[in-house]
Structure 1
């Protein structure tokens, strides 16, 4: 006899009480997990590369609870346990994890266990760009339709600590990164792939591994699953031959057989074979940019079976966006400032540049993920009049731009800054009334900040302090 959904999680946690559990990383996805395991009497050892001093208050808390911690640069030297929960950002093929696997440890992750135990309808979203906005649009549409929604995953909230609250009639909406997907062997009921382009090649051994990780979001569906693919992206459009369940596609460029699309006049439709439903005109969407039209199309296609079209229209015309995604910060002396810190890749920066109908002053550069900048160069020449570079990738971006055909005639000015405050100062000096300044790094933040959110918040602090 099969277990009831609520019992399945309880049995799992009871079994863990007789196991030694290792949790790697005290980050957003693991802090509440560690607390929950401790409260349930599950023995855990926590591993983190930060020192005790760097952990601060969270270290104080875990120490007071008597939770053992292995910390510092050599934090994995004694890695072991019956079950190891890896942090999403840790290389799945790292020597330490391989050694633990050979020694008999089970290697898993918070999100993998959640999907195995979850009794609700699950919608998972992945892609190189647009994941968070699409994920949030889906969640907002479901909420507008009166559904109970559990939102989490790579968007910044662990789901497993709330597993016992999830009911069969609920919906789980999870943003899933390639780092989370690489080891997953269970796919969501509805899988959405926004697009795929080179990204995270500093961690993945090559582009092939990155693509294969993305494929796990739909490879393990059964015939009742649904996969939503971007018909305009060469890689994602080619995934259809691998899908076992129902395939639906979205397109900003042409009509599709099943899914949401936009016609030449800017009207958004949903097609179900021979039936077509008109939704709205794309210019009524509150989110700016053609990339956000694609995000809306993906969300509509994902929720069509669960949400009335009135709810989709309402969210589309009222949802103003997620922080750090072409986020308007302020206008000062006729100059508008935007925070697009989420643009951690060239493709994301390109989408941001194309969202404006004038040339911009752009602050770019950051941590090097070993992805090519040549595709970004012509877009910078077309959409940027002053480029301010900072961070580790500054030389690579400049080389790509200067080597691009048309650079000499473009009139593009390239400036360099040693820090974000200096970059903001240079941008303010270069700008005049009517100009737009955007932080759109085309790079990750890890050279100076823990994540793109921290970089974006600091940028906003700097801009709001200007006089």
Structure 2
């Protein structure tokens, strides 16, 4: 498989690395070792070798390895204008039959972590990679013919993909990333690529509980299973158990490995993560909640949330469902900050007089306000992305924990 991948890439005399972030650097390191005769051209506006005309370098290479963080739509570039590929596409092409791929708006990281644990507890060789943090190309030398490759796949990684994994899992779909795609349908279509190119003998596990304007209607699999998913946010829901049980059956794994995977599972950071109790008040970090539905689910799970902190980058997501939920919820104190916080504050201020609404300057001031008014649970579940103020949701969650840990007990 690795041999075929290298042979595939050796046909190109020059390869452009479009975006020199985590995945771009991973491919660069791989290419330096396995493609010594290939010219590598870095195409990134933030790289020292590039200037404001960096996009012109696209014309000078035979193949472009595009990083998932780059939106061609926002750059006004048609995908057909150049010979684009990606590390995800290359892995799906050459290692398809070993890949268990998981995508969806929410619940991906929890699920792939459990699947990887299930396989390892059953004595199977497994690596966990993809959007969860470890680039697949960093782990190529660890992959043998017996290795299961468990991949968390984002919509950005799947966009324009023309290969699908042998086992594909689609958890759920909600509006997100509307700053990256031309509309929500393009976002959904990117997710659908996880199964679009499967054969009839491949396996597709999906959710038909959701009614979408464009539904799941592009598959011919003989092996397909419908599961009623719910958002996960770090907790093991019935839907997750159904998936693991189905995989246990498909892969002929034992009950002992299944129970061990469940018993040893720990909530991932920034997903309903307990931070600290101060003067009887629990502080919960749910920075992973980047859409309204995730925040709603978090409030429902915890039940006793009296203080909720919301706010982040405005990507054009609709917030009516969250606003309607908050109006009828038991949350007494709603603290809002940043772009979306202002938008939700304005909407609630008009409709609601019974809630205590606070519009704050930033996350730090929001935590301090919560410290002064909360009596039960402070939940930081922003319902928005972080990119206007933080590098990612993890950096934002770390900031929340840092400020909470500075509060006086």
Tell me if TM exceeds 0.5: yes
Residues of 2 paired with 1:43 and 1:422: CA distance? 50
Aligned length: 402
Consecutive unaligned residues of structure 1, counting only runs of 5 or more, are 53-68, 254-284
Contact 2:19 2:67 in 1 (8 A): yes
Q: Does the CA contact (< 8 Å) of 1:331 and 1:337 recur in 2? A: yes
Indicate the residue corresponding to 2:28 in structure 1.
34
Structure ranking higher on relative contact order (CA contacts 8 Å, 6+ apart): 2
Q: Quote the RMSD (CA, aligned, Å).
A: 2.5
Q: 1:276-287 alignment to 2 at 5 Å?
A: none
Residue pairs, 1:33-432, within 5 angstroms: 33-40=27-34, 41=36, 42-50=38-46, 52=48, 69-70=49-50, 74-80=53-59, 81-93=61-73, 95=75, 97-98=77-78, 101-102=80-81, 105-118=82-95, 121-235=98-212, 238-239=215-216, 242-251=219-228, 288=235, 292-306=237-251, 307-381=253-327, 382-402=329-349, 407-408=352-353, 411-432=354-375
Q: Does 1:461 align with 2:406?
A: no
Q: Secondary structure in 1 aligned to 2:200?
A: coil
> 1:96, CA displacement in angstroms?
6.0
Out of 19-28 and 6-15, give the one that drifted further. 6-15
Native 8 Å contact 2:99 2:150 kept in 1: yes
Q: Which moved more, 1:187-196 or 1:25-34?
A: 25-34
Q: 1:12 aligns with which of 4, 8, 14?
A: 8
Kept in 2, the 8 Å contact 1:445–1:451? The answer is: yes
> 1:339-378: CA deviations, max 9, x gaps?
1000011111111111112133111111111110000113
User: What TM-score results when the alignment is normalised by the length of structure 1?
Assistant: 0.80
Go from structure 1 to structure 2 and tell me whether the alpha carbon gap of 1:395 and 1:237 turns closer, same or farther (over 3 Å shift).
Answer: same
- Deviation string, structure 1 residues 275-295 (Cα, Å, up to 9, x no partner): xxxxxxxxxx99547xx3333
The answer to whether the 8 Å contact 2:117/2:261 transfers is yes
Match of 2:372, SS?
helix
Contact persistence 2:30–2:137 (CA under 8 A): no
User: SS where residue 321 of structure 2 aligns?
Assistant: coil
- In structure 2, the CA distance between the partners of 1:418 and 1:51, relative to structure 1 (3 Å rule), is farther
> What TM-score do you get using the length of structure 2 for normalisation?
0.91
Q: In structure 2, what is the Cα distance between the partners aligned to 1:304 and 1:412?
A: 49
Q: How many Å apart are 1:327 and its aligned residue?
A: 0.7
Residue 276 of structure 1 corresponds to none
Please identify, of 227-236 and 352-361, the stretch whose mean Cα deviation from structure 2 is larger: 227-236
Unaligned runs of 5+ in 2: none
Partner of 1:268: none
